[in-house]
A = this chain, B = another copy of it.
Amino acid sequence: MSKKLTTRAEDYSKWYNELVVRADLAENSGVRGCMVIKPYGYAIWEKMQAQLDKMFKETGHENAYFPLFVPKSLFEAEEKNAEGFAKECAVVTHYRLKSDEENKGKLIVDPDAKLEEELVVRPTSEAIIWNTYKNWIESYRDLPILVNQWANVVRWEMRTRLFLRTAEFLWQEGHTAHATKAEALAEAEQMMNVYAEFAEDFMAVPVVKGFKTEAERFAGADETYCIEALMQDGKALQAGTSHFLGQNFAKAFDVKYTTKEGKQEHVWATSWGVSTRLMGALIMTHSDDQGLVLPPKLAPIQLVVVPIYKGLDQLEAIRAHIKPYLDELKKLGVSVKFDDRDTQKPGWKFAEYELKGVPVRVGIGNRDLANGTVEVARRDTLTKETIDITNLVETVTTLLEDIQNNIYQKAFDYRASHITEVNSFEEFKEVLENKGGFISAHWDGTTETEEKIQELTKATIRCIPLDSKEEEGVCMYTGKPSKKRVLFAKAY
């Protein structure tokens, strides 16, 4: 707790890595590219899961579970999807180890236990799920299928970063089957909206809703909806995607249904997912040089009370004095921790809870006891005030709402001041270099131009915003005609 964090200004990337580890969120493991999510980090993820799960169920979805492994022959069935993920697949080839006779106590892969067909550890589950849906769907009566899965997936990334890009990560993946194209499109758009609502109302992270360009689409999708957030270093982060898969998987796995009129039609599909990557977005959007800043709605501890005492008598007097107020807060659903550890000093505890982003901290000592006061500190602004203890319940509940709104507004204002319209490639490069953020520009609609711009600047088209207006213009790079602005940014 003693050493200060690297500041964002010194080294943003280092600040992030240090913060994730020192706030006890996650750490690297003994397995290349795989992280350990520590209890405090996992508690935040659990809160995210619970809220998302509730929203999925409210929109009619059920959970299920499909196998971790995808036999190679199923994996390759939808060609674009297979091609998109083949380069980063962990592959199981054997099903047994045996003692190494030349090296006592060591194990080797048993060559006699080679699988007839290799198994891919799922990088995403469309293939295994559509191979299953094939048996679930006969007629229009079996549709829609609205299923979600909470699972781990593996993508063998070469350069990994805690939460942002890891070889194994946790996510949810919704997979739905529909009778009509319109219904599938509406589902894909609905789930993008669910993600946006979750990001804004719970994570306090403002997002842009939009479409991906063809080059940035999910492998196997006809359209990818996304939500894009902006981090404090001016880089964008894709926070969730929802794919309209057309009939691609239905055709690859021959999934047809009988319509009311008795005709045979291929089924329409969507898939949509968010992952532990959201943790990265949450951390980078709000945190500061003192440590984590958490939105109260997702904070595992919303209020911490640090007693300042000498001897057990004082501790018990403080505990008894504040108990009725804490009980009342708990009854209102506030998660409260009374930190009575005698192994650490109050100052150490203050710094620890600051680092861990606990929204509200209350300090109470002997003098407070005499005066009927407590000191209340809020994490987002790092300000404190002394209040009458009889106002504690109202102060804390109001503060939790204020903090949730305040950090959203701060992130919103930052983003608002970091969406820049440009009309020339010179201007584009200048803004990208000196300011960062989203850059709104005209583009000629070709993958060629998009790739060229990326090659020259490392910026990509984050999305074609849903609310982008028709506007006559010319591509900032080629000068060819364009009817819409798109959002560019460097991205995580």
Contact = CB atoms under 8 A, between A and B. Distances in A.
Interface string A52-81: 000000000011111111111011100100
Contact of A67 (B71, B96, B106, B168): B168
A171 interface: no
Main secondary structure of the interface of A (DSSP, over half): mixed
A75 B168 contact: no
Given A35-B67, A68-B121, 9 more contacts: A30-B128, A31-B71, A34-B67, A69-B90, A72-B97, A72-B107, A82-B97, A86-B96, A97-B120
A37 interface: yes
A37 B135 CA distance: 14
Q: How many copies does the complex hold?
A: 2
A105 B76 contact: yes
Nearest to A61: B39
Contacts of A82: 97, 107
A45 B63 CA distance: 10
A343 interface: yes
A152 B109 CA distance: 22
Interface string A243-283: 00000000000000000000000000000000000000000
Contacts of A132: 27, 29-30, 36
A132 B119 CA distance: 28
A87 interface: yes
A72 B103 CA distance: 14
Nearest to A134: B30
A38 interface: yes
Nearest to A105: B79
Nearest to A77: B105
B87 A91 contact: no
20 contacts: A29-B66, A29-B67, A29-B132, A34-B69, A37-B65, A39-B64, A46-B63, A67-B168, A68-B168, A69-B168, A75-B107, A76-B107, A86-B98, A86-B99, A88-B95, A89-B95, A91-B93, A91-B97, A93-B93, A95-B156
Nearest to A141: B343
A170 interface: yes
A31 B119 contact: yes
Contact of A71 (B30, B97, B151, B156): B30
A154 interface: yes
A109 B168 CA distance: 20
A147 interface: yes
Interface in A10-46: 27, 29-31, 34-39, 42-43, 45-46
A368 interface: no
Contacts of A68: 34, 121, 152, 154, 168
B92 A96 contact: no
Nearest to A72: B107
Contacts of A67: 29-31, 34-36, 168
A440 interface: no
A27 B128 CA distance: 13
A404 interface: no
Interface string A451-468: 000000000000000000
A349 interface: no
A89 to B, nearest CB: 5
Given A63-B46, A106-B76, A95 B90 contact: yes
Contact of A30 (B31, B38, B74, B94): B74
A29 B128 contact: yes
B86 A97 contact: yes
A216 interface: no
Contacts of A65: 36-37, 42, 45, 170
A251 to B, nearest CB: 14
